[in-house]
Amino acid sequence: MSLDSNADTAHLRETCIEPEAAWRGSFLDVRRDRVALPDGSTAHREYIVHPGAVMIVPLLDDGRLVVERQWRYPLQRAILEFPAGKLEAGEPVLDCAVRELVEETGYRAAEWARAGLLHNAIAYSSEGIEVWFARGLVAGERRLDEGEFLDVFAASADELDAAARSGALTDAKTLIGLLWLQNWRAGRWPLEWHGAPARS
Amino acid sequence: MSLDSNADTAHLRETCIEPEAAWRGSFLDVRRDRVALPDGSTAHREYIVHPGAVMIVPLLDDGRLVVERQWRYPLQRAILEFPAGKLEAGEPVLDCAVRELVEETGYRAAEWARAGLLHNAIAYSSEGIEVWFARGLVAGERRLDEGEFLDVFAASADELDAAARSGALTDAKTLIGLLWLQNWRAGRWPLEWHGAPARS
């Protein structure tokens, strides 16, 4: 059987019969669609419509990485993570990455490389997070959004590796950043580097 | 600065002032709490309360892994992933892992090892997914839930690695399964194996 997720999916496919906007907050857009299942029966699917996001793996010239610690209310704890943020309407992904990196950490990067895409809550969210690497970092002033509080610091790959192994690092996107970092540094998953976008 | 997420978080902490149950479906439990921010201002936090889940990395005796392909309605596509499922109320995590593996794939495992915990949507969900490895697999009959349709097949670690690198594999929990698999096979992140629970 092919690993290509788009091959031969007719026997798995669920089709919308009746879309329903269930609840809308200032951030969450909750849907509850009635769908037809592959055997012709029907069911409801409850999920979040999300604009998408980007995460940055910021590489300092000394080999360390820029990470953050931020309070994540749903988990009632501070979480160690790479910088990340939601796409604004119509915003190109790399522009969002450049913007979030400087807003949250103050750093601007000379070079960028797209690693991949991840889907973090496939059962109930349309969210996709693009993973980008940034290097040639130059420190500057950060500009946090109102109501945004976070620590920024540098950690070595070995420290992050140990934190992942011990359970101190649990954020999914950040763990996948480490997966890319390990494989890129081992020469197995290449990255294609480009200069920063013109107006960043 | 410490990588320990529980250290020194008073300047980051958000405290609930007024909890609000915003919307409840048969699956999603949406909250919109009013919270106090570290500077004393207030904001709302919208999020999903989730019971938690478990993912299984099932190792066949020939070195291949058991994977699934399942339609994920929020993404409007079939997704390649390791077997996984939500915890039932009061269910021990390993019991859930044993149950989901046999229900979705038919396999029972002689040995189990807990790898770690991941938080997959820290901005808007309390979900945590425990990652378990299973080996000594014996095939049997699967027992899908009503309305559940999925393909089960075997893939080599190299095939999954190539799929992750190329972008054909995007599921976050599954990518983190590969992170653990690579590091465990390299002898860097050890796993502690135990026999299957008594009544599985």
- Smallest Cβ–Cβ distance between B170 and the set A117, A123, A160 belongs to A117
In angstroms, the separation between the Cα of residue A108 and the nearest Cα of chain B is: 22
- Predicted pLDDT of residue B2: 63
Segments of chain A with pLDDT less than 50? 200
- Predicted pLDDT of residue A5: 58
CA atoms within 13 A on the CB side of B33: 18
- The burial class, CB within 10 Å (0-12 / 13-18 / 19+), for A107 is buried
- Predicted pLDDT of residue A3: 74
pTM score above 0.95:
yes
pLDDT band at B78 (very low <50, low <70, confident <90, very high): very high
Q: Return the SS3 of B139.
A: coil
Residue A28 and residue A127 in contact, taking contact as beta carbons nearer than 8 Å: no
Which of B144, B146, B151 has its CA nearest to residue B71?
A: B151
Average pLDDT, whole number, for chain B?
95
pLDDT band at B1 (very low <50, low <70, confident <90, very high): low
Helix (H) or strand (E) holding B112: strand B108-119
What is d(CA B6, CA A82) in angstroms, rounded to the nearest whole number?
A: 17
| Surface of A (76-135) touching B: CB under 8 A | 77-81, 116-129
Q: Which residues of B are catalytic?
A: 146
B25 interaction partners in chain A (CB closer than 8 Å): 22, 30, 32, 44, 46
User: Residue A31: closest CA among chain B residues belongs to which residue?
Assistant: B74
Per the DSSP assignment, residues forming a β-bridge with B153 are B67
- Predicted pLDDT of residue A143: 87
Is A146 in the active site?
yes
Whether residues B122 and A79 touch (CB distance < 8 A) is answered with yes
- Predicted pLDDT of residue B4: 67
- Alpha-carbon separation of residue B53 from A27, A73, A116, A152, A196 (angstroms): 24, 19, 25, 30, 39
Task: Give exposure, A164-196, as e/b (b: 16+ Cβ within 10 Å).
Answer: bbeebbbbbbbbbbbbbbbbbeeeebebeeeeb
Instruction: Confirm or reject contact between A23 and chain B (CB < 8 A).
Output: yes
Tokens (6 digits) for A157: 């790959």
A with B: how many residue pairs have Cβ under 8 Å apart? 249
- Predicted pLDDT of residue B198: 82
